Amino acid sequence: YDAMPKRRGPDKRPGTRQRRCKKRAPDDPNPPNPKRRRTAPEPEQQTPDLQPHLIKENMVDSKHASPSSRHPDRPAELHIQTSTLQTSPSLHRHPSDSDPFVKQEESPTYRRPTGYGYEQDSLARAAFPRSIDLNTLPNEPHRMFELPASPILQARQREWWDRISEAYGPHITRRHNTTHQLAFINIDFLAAQLYDDAERVKVQPAFILAALALAQLIRSSVADQGAAGMAQAIDLRIQAQTALDEARQSGALNADLAKAQFLLAIFESSAYTEYSYSRAMTALHALDDVIQSLSLATLDARDPSVSSFTHGSVPTVFLEDGDPLTGKVCKCLPHEMNDASKDYKSRVYHLPWHPGWTPSQTHDEEIRRLCWGALSLISDHNAQCMALGRDVPNFSLNYPSNFALLFPGEAFDRLRPKDPSDPLLPKESVWGLYCRSMILWNFCVSVKEGHIKVDDNIEAFTESVREAQVIEDALNIHRCNLDTTLMYLTREYLFKYV
């Protein structure tokens, strides 16, 4: 429909329509109404001819309606099963339209030509004008690592640190990196904080105690420290939980507490002597609540290149224009490694940290990796519930619309010089594809469980299959074998429930 329909017929020019007066009865005692006369000629008002304009942020163009395959010659074989996308009237929790941190519009146009054998234009929703509010986000700074300037809190922090220093003095540091859920810890940056008297007090003791508890748990197998090590790990877990509860009660809620809660959630989800499903669920919900209350998952909401998603729509990542990926190979490995390492089937890859980042930029990247690690942990729990026939919990991180966050390593890839022969973009890195597969999988599971309602089940399923195919096509370009664990996990999410 037109935003302002044109006038047609007698009403095309306002004020010129001739209306027939009703005849007055001959016995009507009331005098007739006085006739109105124009005292001055009125200029003719021309109604402007409104042409529909496509607004980039709010209108859907047919050629940008949906992503497409990188293989134009591939036939499409879709077996649509609508039973996997049945909706339920029970909606326990979903992001509100008034939430200022939820970006309602998706990213700009996708970059590759249409390649599937079915018509995609029919799946695009009709364009309609909507109001644009460019000031939906508040101007207040994002709370990250600030602590309230309270003498009581500072004294309590020093007391905790005295206990930690007494029990765990300076030892030889063994630096081991991880490639998965714990990749949010910048070891060099954290070590510099701990050895600085002024900066050490700003670090939450709960975070350090939770890290010590998890490290002790890893070394508490029967082949290592056994029951004594397990008892020490449980004691450290209790201390970490106590410090975390005290910090929350005192109002010292910042990103360090989210780190501590994340490590405790990993601890409670691990196999140890006091494991219980209820304890693991409580820890995961606490982690989900901390991330939601601090709005950590919307850290990059103001970034124009961040991938954001609309509530109730398939989480599709749109990229800039480029060539199809057919027959291309990634350039993830340095040139000096391409020839010398051809025989390796798997390589150990650690997400890099830029040495020139400021502390604020390092904290931002820590938050990004923390949130994606939390989504990975919650996705593992959801997959376990699906396998055991349990109800999938309704976490806020299950909703794609709650994310406005750069993918792990995406901020680092922006600073590197672009190889003209590299067919992939930062959002198509191994970590980026892994995060995209988790978001898509959680969306499909949430729709199946009735937590998310969609307008059209068939359309949502078709778009989900298309996005899964796009992710798989980009994953097949990665011949680098960087972190094959993530590659296998990505395919697991794509092939299981999407």
Q: Count how many Cα atoms sit within 13 Å of the Cα of residue 383 in the half-sphere of its side chain.
A: 16
Distance, in Å, from the CA atom of 207 to the CA atom of 65, rounded to the nearest integer, reads: 44
**Pair of tokens at residue 359:** 């502390």
Domain that holds residue 249: 151-294
For the chain, the average pLDDT equals 73
Same domain, 463 and 356: yes
Yes or no: say if 180 and 485 are a contact pair by the CB < 8 Å rule: yes
Res 326: pLDDT: 66
Residue 347 φ/ψ, nearest 5 degrees: -130, 145
Beta-carbon-side half-sphere exposure of residue 442 (alpha carbons within 13 Å):
29
Domain count, the chain: 2
* 497 contacts 441 by C-beta, under 8 angstroms: yes
Whether 263 and 215 map to the same domain: the answer is yes
Q: Which residue has the higher pLDDT, 159 or 498?
A: 159
Residue 193 near residue 185, CB atoms below 8 Å: no
Same domain, 85 and 196: no
- pLDDT attached to residue 167: 66
27-41, 72-86, 344-358: range with highest mean pLDDT: 344-358
Same domain, 322 and 469: yes
The candidate with the shortest Cα–Cα distance to 99, out of 146, 56, 44, 136, is 136
Q: Does the residue 43 lie in any domain?
A: no
Question: Quick one: 209 and 109 in the same domain?
Answer: no
Residue 252 in any domain: the answer is yes
**C-alpha–C-alpha distance, residues 270 and 100, integer Å:** 36
| 313 and 452 within one domain | yes
pLDDT of 428-487, one tens digit each?
A: 889 999 999 999 999 999 999 989 998 888 899 999 999 999 999 889 888 887 778 888
The one-letter amino acid code at 47 reads T
pLDDT tens-digit series, residues 205-260: 899 999 999 989 998 888 888 889 899 999 999 999 999 998 888 877 888 899 99
**358 in a structural domain:** yes
Q: Pick from 259, 294, 329: which residue ends a domain? A: 294
Q: What is the pLDDT of residues 271-326, one digit of tens each?
A: 888 889 999 999 999 999 999 999 999 999 999 889 999 999 999 998 766 666 66
- Closest CA relative to residue 359, chosen from 125, 188, 115: 188
Indicate whether 457 belongs to any domain: yes
Give the whole-angstrom CA distance, residue 217 versus residue 268.
11
- 285 with 302, same domain: the answer is no
CA-nearest of 257, 263, 229 to 243 is: 257
Separation of CA 192 from chain center: 30
Which residue pairs from 494-498 have beta carbons closer than 8 angstroms and sit at least 24 positions apart in sequence? 494/437, 494/440, 494/441, 494/468, 496/383, 496/441, 497/84, 497/386, 497/441, 497/444, 497/445, 497/448, 498/437, 498/440, 498/441, 498/444, 498/464, 498/465, 498/468
Q: Residue 455: what pLDDT?
A: 87
What does DSSP assign to residue 41?
Answer: P
Q: Token digits for 252?
A: 């010292």
Domain boundary among 294, 326, 346: 294
Query: Could you tell me if 220 and 175 lie in one domain?
Result: yes
Instruction: Identify the burial level of 384 via C-beta atoms within 10 angstroms of its C-beta, where 0-12 means exposed, 13-18 middle and 19 or more buried.
Output: middle
Q: What is the pLDDT of residues 365-415, one digit of tens each?
A: 999 999 999 999 999 999 999 999 899 999 999 999 999 999 998 999 888
For tokens 């309609």, the residue is 128
**In this structure, is residue 337 part of a structural domain?**
yes
How far apart CA 127 and CA 378 sit, in angstroms, is 36
Q: What is the DSSP string of 221-287?
A: STTTTHHHHHHHHHHHHHHHHHHHHHHHHTT--SHHHHHHHHHHHHHHHS--TT--HHHHHHHHHHH
Tokens describing residue 153: 């809190």
Check residue 202 and give its pLDDT.
Answer: 81
- Cα(176)–Cα(397) distance, integer angstroms: 29
How many whole angstroms separate alpha carbon 381 and alpha carbon 498? 17
Place of tokens 């051809």: 342
* Distance (Å) of CA 385 to CA 35, 276, 434, 478: 80, 14, 20, 31
Question: Residue 122: is it exposed, middle or buried by C-beta count within 10 angstroms (0-12/13-18/19+)?
Answer: exposed
Q: What are phi and psi of 239, to 5 degrees?
A: -65, -40
Residue 468 lies in a domain: yes
345 lies in the same domain as 303: yes
Which string of DSSP letters, residue by residue, matches 271-331?
--TT--HHHHHHHHHHHHHHHHHHTGGGTTTT-TT--B--TTS------------TT----
Please check whether residue 7 lies inside any domain of the structure.
Answer: no
Do residue 164 and residue 205 come from a single domain? yes
Provide CB contacts within 8 A for 467, sequence distance 6+.
Answer: 67, 314, 315, 316, 317, 436, 440
DSSP H or E segment with residue 459: helix 457-477
pLDDT at 36: 54
Phi-psi label, residue 186: left if phi above 0, alpha if psi -120 to 50, beta otherwise: beta
Segments in 150-225 forming alpha helices (H): 151-167, 187-194, 197-200, 205-218
206, 247 contact by CB (below 8 A): yes
In a domain, 267, yes or no: yes
- Residue 338 sits in the same domain as residue 387: yes
For 319-455, list the strands marked E by DSSP.
none
Out of 241, 272, 294, a domain closes at: 294
Beta bridge partners of 482: 347
- Residue-level pLDDT at 235: 93
Please, which residues have CB within 8 angstroms of residue 266's CB and are 6 or more apart in sequence? 181, 182, 214, 377
Q: Are residues 333 and 387 in the same domain?
A: yes
**pLDDT grade, residue 31 (50/70/90)?**
low
